Amino acid sequence: MTILVTGGAGFIGGNFVLDWLAEHNETVINLDALTYAGNLDTLVSLKNNAKHIFVHGSIGDRTLLEKLLNEHQPRTIVNFAAESHVDRSIHGPGDFIQTNIVGTFNLLESVRAYWNNLDTERQTAFRFLHVSTDEVYGTLSQEDPPFAETNRYEPNSPYSASKAASDHLVRAWHHTYGLPVLTTNCSNNYGPYHFPEKLIPLVILNALAGKPLPIYGDGQQVRDWLYVKDHCSAIRRVLEAGKLGETYNVGGWNEKANLDVVQTICAILDELKPRADGEHYASQITFVQDRPGHDRRYAIDARKLERELGWKPAETFESGIRKTVQWYLDNPQWVDNVTSGHYRDWIDQQYGRPA
């Protein structure tokens, strides 16, 4: 038995691969293009694991996809492959169109050809799970109810627009061609192995380095925070029992303003690794110019997933964020390897502007 995971060297995909192999005696074919956020250091513990087969390549490479599908005959495909950083999509949307839309199209077409050639029993058992984001739904006011699966799509950034397009493609390939698909739309993830351009790892590492802790605008943008290991368990549950063609929202029930998240991290670091000068890490907080089209609030209604499939997150924000801070303190080698000169140039470019 084999599954194919695309984007399995990224943050969420890498955690999923690690968790899957810890719980299943099943081979994982891990296809990743190793763009800036793909990191094989995340998978170093699998170096001698015969059940993990890493392939360097893109979901846009139809020839490679055909070869992998025919050679390994996966029973399931989990698609994490995506460009995923909003700020990068604002500066350069082309890569997001190419990977998230054209790449998803190529993957779907390759999978459709493979699936059509399976026998009836294997066709029935086959699953294609597409991992997406709550950002496709747009933004919420403080009074709005959280996003449900029935909310209409109103993406506001090149990133979220490209993910919305990929979701529509997956839906269309199910309704038009019968491909057995499932879609998950998750809230903001955090946890181990997170590339340090996103808010939580950036704040942890900047705090420890004595650098400013940049917060966009007034810091009152609200997000629902989902611990990455909980997200992985939700995906496994949807694969096990999800209804074909359905969408399942995955959330942590943890709405927090960005400023509150940063202050929580600072308080944990004050406890676990106090500054040598006795000052609080919160003194490093600085406000920078807000990004264009910044959505004010995201929130996920995950009741469908709980009601129909019995899934709930295991971590509160308080327990998950403490585990996350501790992980970064315990893994300086991973941090050193990922924070290359190219990464530092990007951070300077993005957050160097005064408020």
- What is the distance of C-alpha 318 from the center of its chain? 20
C-alpha 345/C-alpha 104 separation (Å) is 30
Active site residue 121: no
Active-site residue (options: 83, 134, 295, 315): 134
Q: Which CATH number fits domain 2-193+226-254+296-314: 3.40.50.1000, 3.40.50.720, 1.10.287.370, 3.30.70.3270?
A: 3.40.50.720
C-alpha 57/C-alpha 53 separation (Å) is 12
Active site residue 135: yes
C-alpha 230/C-alpha 29 separation (Å) is 22
**Among candidate residues 52, 50, 48, 62, the one with its CA nearest the CA of residue 13:** 52
* Element of type H or E holding 314: none
Please check whether residue 68 is in contact with residue 113, taking contact to mean a CB–CB distance below 8 angstroms.
no
- One pLDDT digit (tens) per residue for the chain, 355 residues: 899 999 999 999 999 999 999 999 999 999 999 887 788 889 999 999 999 999 999 999 999 999 999 999 999 999 999 987 777 888 889 999 999 999 999 999 999 999 999 999 999 999 999 999 999 999 999 999 999 999 999 999 999 999 999 999 999 999 999 999 999 999 999 999 998 878 999 999 999 999 999 999 999 999 999 999 999 999 999 999 999 999 999 999 999 999 999 999 999 999 999 999 999 999 999 999 888 878 899 999 999 999 999 999 999 999 999 999 999 999 998 988 887 655 445 446 655 544 4
pLDDT score at 339: 78
**Among candidate residues 214, 86, 200, 81, the one with its CA nearest the CA of residue 139:** 86
Give domain limits for the chain: 2-193+226-254+296-314
Active site residue 134: yes
Active-site residue (options: 137, 159, 190, 227): 159
Active-site residue (options: 135, 255, 295, 301): 135
pLDDT score at 192: 98
pLDDT score at 352: 54
pLDDT score at 343: 41
Amino acid at 26: E
Q: In what order do the strands lie in the sheet with 255-257?
A: 188-190, 222-227, 255-257
